Homo-oligomer: A and B are copies of this chain.
Amino acid sequence: MIEYYDVSGCYVLRPWSYAIWEEIQEWFDKEIKKLGVRNCYFPIFVSQGALEREKEHIADFAPEVAWVTRAGQSEMAEPIAIRPTSETVMYPSYAKWVQSHRDLPIRLNQWCNVVRWEFKHPTPFLRTREFLWNEGHTAFATAKEAEAEVFQILDLYAKIYTDLLAIPVVKGRKSEKEKFAGAAFTTTCEAYVPCNGRGIQGATSHHLGQNFSRMFDISFEDSGSGGKEYAWQNSWGMSTRTIGAVVIIHGDDNGLVLPPRIAVIQMIVIPVGITAQTSAEDRKMIIDKAEQITEILTDNGIRAESDLRENVSPGWKFNHWELKGVPVRVEVGPKDIAKSQVICVIRCSGEKRPVLLKNLSQSAKAMLDEIHSNMYERVAAARRAHTKLTVNWDEFKKYLDMKFQLLSPFCGLPSCEELIKAESAREESVQLGAAAMGAKTLCIPFDQPTDPLPQRCIHPSCKEPAKSWALFGRSY
């Protein structure tokens, strides 16, 4: 999946992981084009002036901005920043392009790299100093149109998780503390990691209101009053962190487990039962059969390959493809051929399922869909079993340490969220690292519990009224 690299916080995305990204890209790119979004490319560099235009925004990003100060042997007159995100890169152009309401909407997207020089401990895919993402930046004449798009895009992001990656997500709004710097509000889809109970932010879709359009003067003449109107903007992004979510959520002790819809190889066909005693004729018959089966599968739209290498044993191949997470291994041996069948070994469950050759083309697609559903359901079940609704602070802390996510009443104040985080951290946190972190809000779920909302926020010293149920948990 990755290779380590000699610049700290940077990793190589090898073809096996990059191909997952390509599958996700292809799907999302097609969907946003249907909505009328078009792709473009803005420079990676930002001048200091543009970067610092929106104060709230830059305050959040400034500590992590990488600066280019030298070219060849020449010191630059002014340092140039590398984009941590492209609001400040793109919006000066938007200001030029928008004169009249007829110039709106602008709906652009780019697939690119961004750099955030984090000083926290790096983790492949999940916290890297450079990462790949898509960033959509749109501007509308009305708040209503802009807000509608925020949720349209969030739904597409959620679908990537549920329909491609077999990962359930909770959709919701970020708290004031956790929202994107400079946004009016941020929506998110949040995944749950069964092995450690932590949350992963899946992708975010922000409504920027008129914050940036005022700072960058993206304005037009109001058709009614003739006065100056500012555009209503959104930005939305999803990164290669999605690959990390797949690895950590579905992986097991034997390695990766790839959800079938994004697996580069969905079925790997392996000839078995060839020994030193096998006649050349039988050997050829088995190999031919393996190739024939691979062809049946690919003809039926399955991404299948056969592993016919002679210098490694079938057992070695089993381990190899198991480690790489291929959803189904198809074993073809002399006994199976005699019975006109193959053995399908399902990666996520270990199940060995004989399938008659005459049924193979028909059942292969169904098997992949079944695997998708099972993988999804397994994570969903773990999440359900580890989500606790509580109004009690001690219970909150107790369940947090049992890898739960908590649904609790929340006042919405950043200061209170700080307190919750600090006081839900375990005392031995220095030793335990992430496992001892305090809880933060993952989101305010759109789908609120039906239980009546208590009057008070979950934190015992908070005197504010609860505004909504929030989903709390440790997170990446």
Residues of A within 8 A of B (CB): 3, 5-7, 10-15, 18-19, 21-22, 38-47, 49-50, 62-73, 79-80, 82, 92-93, 96-97, 102, 108, 112-113, 115, 117, 129-130, 132, 311
Contact = CB atoms under 8 A, between A and B. Distances in A.
B79 A15 contact: no
Contacts of A12: 40-43, 93
B38 A13 contact: no
Contact of A7 (B11, B47, B63, B66): B47
Contacts of A72: 62-65, 117
Given A39-B19, A40-B13, A50-B6, A82 B102 contact: no
A21 B112 CA distance: 14
Contacts of A50: 6
A71 B64 contact: yes
Contacts of A93: 3, 5, 12
A130 B65 contact: no
A70 B68 CA distance: 7
A112 B47 CA distance: 21
Nearest to A39: B18
Contacts of A132: 41
Contact of A15 (B7, B19, B39): B39
A108 B69 CA distance: 32
Given A49-B6, A73-B63, A15 B38 contact: yes
Contacts of A18: 38-41
A11 B43 contact: yes
Nearest to A37: B15
Given A3-B96, A38-B19, A112-B113, A10 B43 contact: yes
B63 A5 contact: no
Given A3-B93, A10-B43, A113-B113, 14 more contacts: A5-B42, A7-B47, A13-B40, A13-B41, A13-B42, A43-B130, A44-B115, A63-B72, A63-B73, A66-B68, A66-B70, A66-B71, A68-B69, A68-B82
Nearest to A38: B15
Contacts of A11: 43
A67 B80 CA distance: 10
Given A22-B39, A68-B66, A70-B67, A113 B44 contact: yes
Contacts of A97: 3
Given A38-B15, A41-B12, A65 B69 contact: no
Residue of A50, A71, A97 with most chain B CB atoms under a 10 A cut-off? A71
A18 to B, nearest CB: 5
Contacts of A113: 44, 112-113
Contacts of A96: 3
A363 B71 CA distance: 54
A67 to B, nearest CB: 4
Given A19-B38, A66-B68, A69-B70, A130 B13 contact: no
